[in-house]
Structure 1
Amino acid sequence: MSRTPRPRRSRLLRRLGLVLAALLLVGGIAAVVLRDRVVEEAKNVARDLFADTEALPFEKSLLANSPARYPTSLDFGPDGRLYVAQQDGLIRALTIERRGPSDYAVTDAESITAIQRIPNHNDDGRPNPGLRERLVTGILLTGTRERPVLWATSSDRRVGGGPARKDLNLDTNSGMVSRLDRTGGGWQRRDLVRGLPRSEENHAPNGLALDERTNMLYVAQGS
C-alpha cells in the first residue's frame, strides 16, 4: 500500500486541523451556509490526504463444515484453534485447515459445556433448574498451547423488555465472568465475578481484554 509523502501529509493534516477548528467555531456563531462550506472543505482535504492510498484487496469465504450456530464472540487460542461462543452458552473449539486460496474448512471440533452448566435463577433469587443455557457474549483466550485459558462473560439467556416491555422474571444480576483452564481432556471452571448487571432485554457483560503486564482484566459492560 503506497502512502502520501510525509511533508505533504503533514501539510494536509495541519490543513485538516485548521478546517476542523473552523468547523467548531462556525458551529456556534455562523450560518448554516458557511458551515456547509467548511464541511465541504474538510471533505476535499480528506480526499487529497488519501488520494495516493491503494485499496486493500479483501475476499470473503465461508468456513466449511462449521458446527457453530448463532455465534456471539470468537478468538483464536494459543493452541491454534478458533474458539466460537454461541448464544446458548456452548463454546466450540474448531481446528481449521486451509485447503486453498480463500478456502478453509473445520476438520475437528470440541464442544465446551462448562458455561452452560452454571446454575440459573429468577429475578427474585429463586433457582430455575429448568433453564439450562447461558447467554455468552464475550470470550478471550490466553495461556499456552499446552494449557490454554478461556475467559468468558455470561448471563441469563432470556430476552425480555423491548417495545412490548415484557417482564420474564429473568435474573437482572446474572452477569458473570468465568475462567476455564484446560486440564487433561476437559476444562475446569472458576467463576471469578458474580452479580454483574443484566438488563431486562439483552444488555450484559460482553467484551474482554487482559493486560498481561499488570494482570488486569478489562470487561465491557452493557447497561
Structure 2
Amino acid sequence: MSDWREFGPDTLSPPLRAALVVFARHGYHGASIRMIAEEAGLSVPGLYHHYRSKQAILAAVVDTAMAEMLEHTGAAVEDAGSHPVARFENLVECLARFHMARRDQAFVASTEMRSMDPGVRAHHIAQRDSQQAMLEEAIRAGVDSGDFACEHPEDAARAISSLCVSISSWYRPDGPLTRDDVVARHLYFARGMVGAARAGGVADPSPSPS
C-alpha cells in the first residue's frame, strides 16, 4: 500500500454498491431484493445469480469494508515502526480517515449488526475485535514506555474506537471541518483519553463549526 491515509474509489462490485445505497437509505429490513436489483440495473434473477440472499449481500458489503479498514490500519501500524506513540496516533488517524472516506459502509456495518445472522455477526465481531486489539496493544505499549498514563487501556481503546465510528454518522465533505481538521480534533481527544504527556494543556487544534 503506497499510502494508508489515502482511500480511493471503493472496490465494491455494482450489485454491492447498489445494495450499500439501498441499505444506507432504507435500512436492511426496509430494503428488498427488488429495490437492490433496480438500483443495480439488474433483474431479480440476475441479482440472485451473484448473491443467494439479501443476508449474503449484507455480509459481503460489511466484510469488504472491514477488510479494507484492517488493511489500512495494518499499514499504518507498520509505518509507525517500533514507536508506540506513532503507532497509536497512526491508528487513530487511519480510523478517522476511514470513517470519513467510507461513511456509508461504516454506517451500515455499525447499525445493521442486529440484522446479521449469527454466523455473519460472529465473523464481523471477530474482525472488529482484531481492530480493537491493535488499538489496545498500542495503548499498552505507550503505557509501558511511559508515554501514556492510562489505567484502563481496554476501556480507552473502546471509547476511541466508538468516537471514530461515530464520524460516519455526522461528517459531511461540504461541512465546516476539513478531513485534516477532523483528524486533528480526534487525535486531540484520543491523546487525552490515554493520558498522553503532550495532551496536557494543549488547546483544541481545529476550528469550531459555525
TM-score using structure 1 length: 0.24
Larger proportion of strand: 1
Larger Rg, first or second structure (1 or 2): 1
**RCO higher in 1 or 2 (8 Å CA, sep ≥ 6)?**
2
